[in-house]
Amino acid sequence: MAKGKSSFMKKVIISSLLIILLVGGVGAIFAYKTIYQSNVNLGDKKSQIIYIPTGSAFEDVVRILGENNILENRSSFEWLSEKKNYKNAIKPGKYRILAKMSNNALVNLLRAGIQEPVEINFNGLKTKSQLISRVAHRIEADSLDLYYAFNDNGFLNKYGFNAQTVQALFIPNSYEFYWNTSVDEFFDRMAKEYKNFWTDTRIQNAKEIGYSQTEVAVLASIVQAEQCCDQEEQKVIAGLYINRLNKDMLLQSDPTVIFAIGDFSIQRVSFEQTRYNSPYNTYVNKGLPPAPIGFAQATAMDAVLDYDKNDFIYMCAKEDFSGKHNFAKTYEQHLVYAKQYRDALNARNIH
């Protein structure tokens, strides 16, 4: 009887072990699938961008994933997020979710804050408003907050600028940011880029020609507006304007009139427009304008710092509309070039 009972207990123990192993195996398979098998279905797309705003809770993340139809199984994502403590480690930002990602890969990506960078390019911009609009469309910072920062002298003072001269801080280039960049972080980054540009050599060159860093940016913005692309001609134009400044002559730059008026569609500046009342209009005000008339590129500023030592006083756009200019040392020669250009404008019916 004792022997039979012992045999029965062995069978019970073996059966229990088999059940435990079976349950454990099923659990292991479930855990493996939950963690490592794909839980992202993007249809025909290879990837999907999502944005997690600053201050988001885990529930917000789940909602964002749901709104973008990313998760095949929400419960399994929530289960693993709990296990990996992602619920308490939410990081805002712009994220690229790849097709067929596992929960493990997705949670690791979001928990580590591995963001997709955004690129901001300042080329071609002329005004603060244009820059604010472009930046606000690419980072999380609100356009109104950016506007206040760009016009807050107290805030800008720590960077060495004011609301009028702040354009000189921004040197056009392509810059990468994280989407959740704040206003302060944006300005700090641009101040760092500004300091990187203004090397000891450039600072010394500015001193040698008798201009502050901001004045270099102001003159460079005018030079750039006159000649966007040819750096050698930019140097000639810079030399011409410095000649006029040294002679206490009006710069008489058409781009300053266009900037003052604020109508960048103007193709031909009229005499009446040159009388426009603005401190930026160099037809009526001697010296440099109070601030840049655009965002001066590094090449234009280098053209000013290494300007061509010439005797030119006058210039006029070439009549072939190549974008280049005829330069003159005398007013008489300038009148010849000016008539050629006016005739070309008239022939094209540009008024």
**Do residues 227 and 297 touch, judged by C-beta distance below 8 A?**
no
Residue 140's alpha-carbon distances to 50, 92, 113, 125, in angstroms, are: 13, 10, 15, 20
Residue linked to tokens 């427009």: 273
Per the listing, tokens 């005499």 go with 271
Task: Tell me how far apart the alpha carbons of residues 60 and 197 are, in angstroms, rounded to a whole number.
Answer: 41
pTM of the model: 0.84
- Residue 26: the pLDDT is 46
Residue 267, Cα to own-chain centre: how many angstroms? 28
- Buried/exposed 131-170: b ≥16 CB within 10 Å, e otherwise: bbeebbebbbbeeeebbebbeeeebbeeeebbebbbbbbb
In degrees to the nearest 10, what's the CA dihedral of 217, 127, 161, 228?
-10
Question: So what's the pLDDT on residue 151?
Answer: 96
pLDDT at position 229: 87
326 and 332 Cβ atoms separated by less than 8 Å? no
Q: How far is 242 from 255, CA to CA, in rounded Å?
A: 17
Predicted pLDDT of residue 267: 84
In single-letter form, the type of residue at position 188 comes to D
Identify the H or E element spanning 14. helix 2-36
CA 11, chain centre distance (Å): 73
> If we measure between CA atoms, which residue out of 159, 254, 255, 168 comes closest to residue 211?
168
Q: What is the mean pLDDT of each run of 10 residues along the chain (351 residues)?
A: 58 53 51 76 92 96 95 93 93 95 94 95 89 95 95 96 96 95 96 97 96 97 92 95 96 95 89 94 96 95 96 89 87 87 79 64
**Separation of alpha carbons 7 and 263, rounded Å:** 100
Tell how far CA 143 is from the center of its chain.
14
Give dist(CA 107, CA 127) in Å, integer: 42
Three-class SS state of 119: strand
> Do the bridges between strand 174-177 and strand 314-317 make them parallel or antiparallel, or are there none, so unpaired?
unpaired
Question: What CA–CA distance (Å, rounded) separates 70 from 48?
Answer: 8
- Tell me what pLDDT residue 345 has: 79
144-145-148-154 Cα dihedral, nearest 10 degrees: 180
- Residues 6+ away with beta carbon under 8 Å from 200: none
Of 267, 268, 246, 254, residue with least CA distance to 225 = 254
Q: DSSP string spanning 157-211?
A: HTTT--TTTGGGG---SEEEE-TT--HHHHHHHHHHHHHHHS-HHHHHHHHHHT-
Task: Identify the pLDDT of residue 30.
Answer: 56
Rounded-to-integer distance, Cα 73 and Cα 68, Å = 13
